[in-house]
Structure 1
């Protein structure tokens, strides 16, 4: 009989393995020496040992799932329990027990991680859905809103999955938001189309009138009407781009035709009026030399009337010089009028009487203050003396101004 710490081979070739519960037959060997039998069955044990060690390493160094680890432990446990091998099978069982505990621990960790991941996925998708609902309810920038809604759909697809009920509930909200946005956008553009149709109708009316008056020769009234039509055009709103461009071309064409004809007529008139402008330039120069500065308002007024008559007789000036010439002549008229006003103020009896009364009143006031000052000084009352001096200084200043004004009236 051949023996080993973990097994033996009987004389009849029966092979046993030793366990804490006694020996167990693991096979029979008739092909050779008992030592070879033990070596054969020991190698089978070593093969099991290798599998256990590999599973321990995988569980320690990889992200092997708990379910896969439990399945591998169960298979190895069955293999070890009925193993036809010689070796410390019970130690393999204990190591498998330890692996089973580690697998259970990993199962709990993975479940916790899965719940956490689902919670994060739920938060992510709730954020996505909330923004989609906001876009659906609030956005009026349809292009930007449509792009953002598409981005949110892509973010949804890329986000991790939550639990099935949560996924279904959130997707229902997401789909509802997307449909609501589409309906709002569709309704907006339908209303916009209707509005643009009204604008098109109004602008066609404006263009029709603009074309109807394009050949008018009532230059002032028609130019004013074109200004009114332009204001109406601006306040009407916009049609679709193609219609807007086509109608604007017609409107501008009619307007340009009218103003080109008016400018041509005015240019001819201006050419005829150049001589008038030359006459008025000479009148201006003559009037400046004779009337300015105004020294005798009455004589200046008489001479001005002569210049005014000659100015009217000279006729209208061309448009490009009219405003300048008329403005320059008005300045001369204003200078004469101002000189007349000043002369009237100077010679007005009522004004002179008021000025004389003011001077007399101030002189009397000064005389009284001088007496007060003298009494205060004699009494040694410095405070009253200072007050009297300050009042005297002010009254003397007023008197000097009043006397100058009275002298100018003389």
Structure 2
């Protein structure tokens, strides 16, 4: 089997015991395989494969094409491979520049992480919200680890220097955090001791029953200023403290219940007394109203206490009746006060004189025909009459 080339024919092999067509097909397949290798290299370069790796493959494949035992356009295939080799130089330079830029970007990203960590460490850590600060620091460290594993490898000198700064910032934060929680443990321990004492004192009040409530309230005031002992400890101690108070208030509730039963009869009596007294709301005779009210007030005091939750209801009704009687007396006094009457009569005389004068001025104004003067005189007269009506 031969292949035609520019300088003649070249034998590419033999294929015994086969027809010419079968032999030709075999050597054409060999050519297709070579062409496939060239196409694959072209695709790899277009797909962004490393140009140096492609160049090595081209160098290995190029010498085999001119002497290949295959039938096809070997010359054209060699030229395609040559053109591919020509583009590899530019591709290598481009990829090298991109790789350098990627490294520079990776260094910049790592420097940004360091700057964030140093800014976090530079704040006033005595006022830090440690849950938030710890979360931020953990997120920065996770981003650092991701950059190490997935980003382009940066120069060792840069990597070491940046890690040293990141580690120093992280160490500053960790030292401050440990100091804060060590101090917090001391505060919690002191608060725990104070609250434990308060719980024991509250539990000791149980034999006093309702009488122990004032002491319990004072202990509650002390509890509010005792500080925090940590959530779990606080919750447990508070449960005991509250249970001690529940014992006292439970005893008080029982006493109140018994008291309410005892005072229920008094309530019925006072309600009947209020029904008897409420007609005084419409009374007009102040003397009779005061006499009736005085008798009701005396009987009211003799009845005694009513259930606690009814005290305000009945007291408010009685206060309303007392206010009505007091108003009758105040109104009478205002009407009969000699000093006030004298002042009223003197002022009334002055008003009558002023009205007479205003009427004369109005008549004179009308005679003159001066409309402005008439209007002014009418307004003055109206004002004086209004004062007299108010004095009534």
Fold match (TM-score > 0.5)? yes
Q: Which runs of 5+ in 2 are unaligned?
A: 13-30, 69-74
Deviation of residue 315 (structure 1)?
A: 1.8
Find the counterpart in structure 2 of residue 361 from structure 1: 350
Number of residue pairs aligned between Structure 1 and Structure 2 = 358
Which of 1 and 2 has greater Rg?
1
Tell whether 2:366 aligns with 1:372. no
Distance 1:259 1:125 in 2: 64
Of the candidates 241, 245, 256, which is equivalent to residue 235 of structure 2? 245
Distance 1:256 1:84 in 2: 104
Distance 1:212 1:383 in 2: 91
Deviation of residue 323 (structure 1)?
A: 2.6
Find the counterpart in structure 1 of residue 204 from structure 2: 212
Find the counterpart in structure 1 of residue 178 from structure 2: 186
Cα displacement string for residues 49-73 of structure 1 (whole angstroms, at most 9, x for unaligned residues):
9899679836853434343355567
Tell whether 2:214 aligns with 1:224. yes
Deviation of residue 310 (structure 1)?
A: 1.6
Cα 1:5/1:242, change in 2 over 3 Å: closer
Deviation of residue 348 (structure 1)?
A: 0.8
Contact 1:132-1:174 at 8 Å conserved across structures:
yes
1:293-304 matched pairs, under 5 angstroms: 293-304=282-293
Contact 1:70-1:103 at 8 Å conserved across structures:
yes
Cα displacement string for residues 134-166 of structure 1 (whole angstroms, at most 9, x for unaligned residues):
445558444444344333333233332363243
Distance 1:211 1:352 in 2: 70
Deviation of residue 345 (structure 1)?
A: 1.4
With structure 1 as the length reference, what TM-score do the two structures score?
0.72
Cα displacement string for residues 345-379 of structure 1 (whole angstroms, at most 9, x for unaligned residues):
11111111222223222222222222222333332
Cα displacement string for residues 55-94 of structure 1 (whole angstroms, at most 9, x for unaligned residues):
98368534343433555677789x69xx999xxx9xx89x
Deviation of residue 343 (structure 1)?
A: 1.6
Distance 1:157 1:182 in 2: 18
Distance 1:242 1:185 in 2: 21
Helix, strand or coil for the counterpart of 2:283?
coil
Deviation of residue 393 (structure 1)?
A: 2.4
Contact 1:122-1:162 at 8 Å conserved across structures:
no
Tell whether 2:131 aligns with 1:146. no
CA RMSD of aligned residues (A): 3.8
Find the counterpart in structure 2 of residue 155 from structure 1: 143
Cα 1:57/1:284, change in 2 over 3 Å: closer
Cα displacement string for residues 3-34 of structure 1 (whole angstroms, at most 9, x for unaligned residues):
x9987xxxxxxxxxxxxxxxxxxxxxxxxxxx
Cα 1:376/1:161, change in 2 over 3 Å: farther
1:7-406 matched pairs, under 5 angstroms: 57=42, 61-68=46-53, 71=56, 102-136=87-121, 140-159=128-147, 160-161=151-152, 163-164=154-155, 165-216=157-208, 219=211, 222-289=212-279, 291-403=280-392
Contact 2:348-2:391 at 8 Å conserved across structures:
yes
Find the counterpart in structure 2 of residue 43 from structure 1: none
Contact 1:273-1:316 at 8 Å conserved across structures:
yes
Helix, strand or coil for the counterpart of 1:194?
helix
Q: Which runs of 5+ in 1 are unaligned?
A: 8-34, 41-45, 404-410
